[in-house]
Amino acid sequence: MKLTLDLPADVFDEGFTEEAFATGLRELALLKLIDAHRLHEHEAQRLLGIERWELVERMEAAGIRPTEKGFEQIRGELGRAIAARGLAHEQEKTTMRLLHTMIRVGDLDETIKFYCGALGMKLLRRKDFPDGKFTLAFVGYGSEEESSVVELTHNWDTKDYDLGNAFGHLAVSVGDIYKACDELRRKGVKITREPGPMKFGGAPIAFIEDPNGYKIELIERKEEAGAGA
């Protein structure tokens, strides 16, 4: 079947091409044939070269309800596909992510020993800046490309800092908070709040202190069970 339309030459332009118009008209014609029960949905899908859920999406947009018994399953696939499309769109828009939190430390070696020894982080990189008289060290549980990490800044001429009352704490998840605190206590870590439920409800927590006096909250997460502190 061929359809010929005698249209003025100025109907189409770069923003509305003849090819796009013909493609849309062809799709509409196929949907009309499905609605008139003259064309099977699988055949229309083949002719359009699209996935099953895409055909269902376009049929519903045109007010046509699929006739197959697996409609609810298809609707579920459609919903998941639409959700995935929306998530991908949001990810495309979000180009920023949290890289690190910086804290100033007095004794860098002791601090690295605490975070990497007691808490099980890894020393990701360390660099001295002689002209500025400071050293930067980055520690974390994953690479900087995939995870947020902690930046330790050591100014060579400064041994102590006033922590002030604005900074709160870092937070680390553990599988069994009571076992984690026992292990940390054996390693000589100062526990400033014993493990237990939060006062107003929530997961069990505890607080420990690093060599510089910074507070670290431990939060029990069952999915971390089996992992060290």
Tell me the three state secondary structure of residue 147.
Answer: coil
Domains and CATH numbers, the chain: 9-93 (no CATH), 100-224 (3.10.180.10)
Q: Which helix (H) or strand (E) holds 65?
A: none
8 A C-beta contact, residue 173 and residue 219 = yes
Q: Which helix (H) or strand (E) holds 103?
A: strand 100-104
Low-confidence ranges of the chain (pLDDT < 50): 69-70, 226-229
The pLDDT of residue 105: 97
pLDDT tens sequence across 172-211: 999 999 999 999 999 999 999 999 998 887 889 999 999 9
The pLDDT of residue 74: 57
Distance in angstroms (rounded) separating the CA atoms of residues 147 and 141: 8
The Cα-based distances of 187 to 21, 173, 182 in angstroms read: 73, 18, 9
Q: Is the pTM higher than 0.85?
A: no
Catalytic residue among 110, 217, 220, 223: 217
The pLDDT of residue 228: 46
Token output for 31: 């949907």
In the residue annotation, 224 being an active-site residue is answered as no
pLDDT tens sequence across 18-43: 888 888 888 888 888 888 888 887 88
Listed residue (49, 57, 60) closest to 82, CA to CA: 57
Listed residue (138, 101, 107) closest to 123, CA to CA: 138
